[in-house]
Amino acid sequence: MRILLADDDLKFCDVVRRGLEEEAYAVDCVHDGEDGYYYAENGSYDLIILDIMMPKTDGFEVCRRLRAKKISTPILMLTAKDTVEDRVTGLDTGADDYLVKPFAFPELSARVRALLRRKISVKSPELRVGDLVLNTVTREVRWKEKAIDLTSKEYAILNYMMRHPNALFTRTMIEEHAWNYDFDSMSNLVDVYIRRLRQKIDPEQGKQIIQTVRGAGYRIREI
């Protein structure tokens, strides 16, 4: 899953980015409101984290402009101001949640997971495709009762695909949701990781959970 983090505190951004990447998210960081708006409008993100007080354009205005453009990506507002007025303003501009600095990283992580579940109308932390189960809180993956050990990138790709079973995923879509802006789109890494995932999660040879759609991409479906 790919997240945009917009905050002018470079040290704070670096800490949050590293924490989110450790949880298998791909993260792009920008440091002013105009860059935040540009990336959010032109990129493909599953979640946007916006600080309110930023140079050039504040988080309220960025949120307002994104919603005016009909961009419905979940937005989590961050602020050092713990006032009712600020919370009301943030929510009224179209934000989905609001978190006051300083905060414990586990709380941010939990809010991120909750917003991503809300995006696909799933309340349980578990994603299921047939007998394949992925827990978004513990990051455990199981086929029936067998635990499957995945790398962070394998987990990120599987998490993304299991949120949309039976949907077609082009290589570009997988790249945009599993890697950050610096990814080299000319590489064949998507195919490499899909092959590794198949080796780990396909229970029977010839019955692939992740299926190739010739000339188009991949899909995951119950078998």
- pLDDT by residue, tens only, the chain of 223 residues: 899 999 999 999 999 999 999 998 999 999 999 999 999 999 889 999 999 999 999 999 999 999 999 999 999 999 887 777 777 888 888 999 999 988 999 999 999 999 998 876 666 788 999 889 999 989 999 988 889 999 999 999 999 999 888 999 998 889 888 887 766 666 788 899 999 998 888 766 567 889 999 889 999 988 7
Count the neighbouring beta carbons within 10 Å of the beta carbon of residue 76. 21
Q: What number of CA atoms fall less than 13 Å from residue 136's CA on the CB side?
A: 26
Please tell me the distance from the alpha carbon of residue 223 to that of residue 207, in angstroms, as a whole number.
Answer: 7
Q: What is the reported pLDDT for 124? A: 76
**Phi then psi dihedrals of residue 218, to 5 deg:** -140, 160
CA 66, chain centre distance (Å): 18
Phi and psi at residue 144, to the nearest 5°: 55, -115
pTM over 0.85: no
Q: Are 165 and 221 in contact (CB under 8 A)?
A: yes
DSSP 8-class letter at 167: -
Q: What is the dihedral of CA 12, 64, 106, 139, to 10 degrees?
A: -110
- Specify the pLDDT at position 206: 62
Phi-psi group of 201: left, alpha or beta (phi > 0 → left; psi -120 to 50 → alpha; rest → beta)? alpha
In this prediction, residue 84 carries a pLDDT of 77
Domains of the chain: 2-119 (3.40.50.2300), 126-220 (1.10.10.10)
Measured on CA atoms in the order 88, 90, 96, 101, is the torsion positive or negative? negative
